[in-house]
Amino acid sequence: MKNYKNKKPSSAKIVRPEVTDGFHLPLPLEVEGKDILGNNFKEQTSLTYISHYGSSFFLKTPVTLGETLRLSIDLPPKLTDNQPLKLILKGEVIFIENNREKTEEKRISTRFRSKYIIAPEKDDAPS
């Protein structure tokens, strides 16, 4: 029988999305979700980083760890044949960091929870 008394706790760490392979893209972004009081919010901001794992951006609205946010990213016209398309994603908040410039914004990192959807700007794709 194995002895589990000396087993050490897991040293697994949460890896912030921006330390994985990805892109630092300042694209327009709309974020929707619930704030720390449970109220619905919608905020315009800019994407700072994206990979197939997740994303990072700054928010003025305070949110909690574990909250699921809906991200709507305006895709550049060069990538969309000059059509107004959006990339729609859901991400779980996995990291919240104070802004080094001491503004009211916090840097939010998310881990994607769903497959992405590219939708026309007029379409109010899944929430």
Residue numbers of the domain that contains 88: 21-120
* Residue 6 belongs to a domain: no
pLDDT at 57 (0 to 100) = 94
Number of H helices, E strands in the chain: 0, 7
Output the pTM of the full model.
0.70
pLDDT tens for each residue of 29-74: 999 999 999 999 999 999 988 888 889 999 999 999 999 999 998 8
* Residue 4 belongs to a domain: no
* Residue 3 belongs to a domain: no
Q: In which element (H, E) is residue 85 found?
A: strand 85-98
* Residue 52 belongs to a domain: yes
In the chain, how many domains are there?
A: 1
* Residue 103 belongs to a domain: yes
The domain that holds 48 is classified in CATH as 2.40.10.220
* Residue 115 belongs to a domain: yes
* Residue 102 belongs to a domain: yes
* Residue 105 belongs to a domain: yes
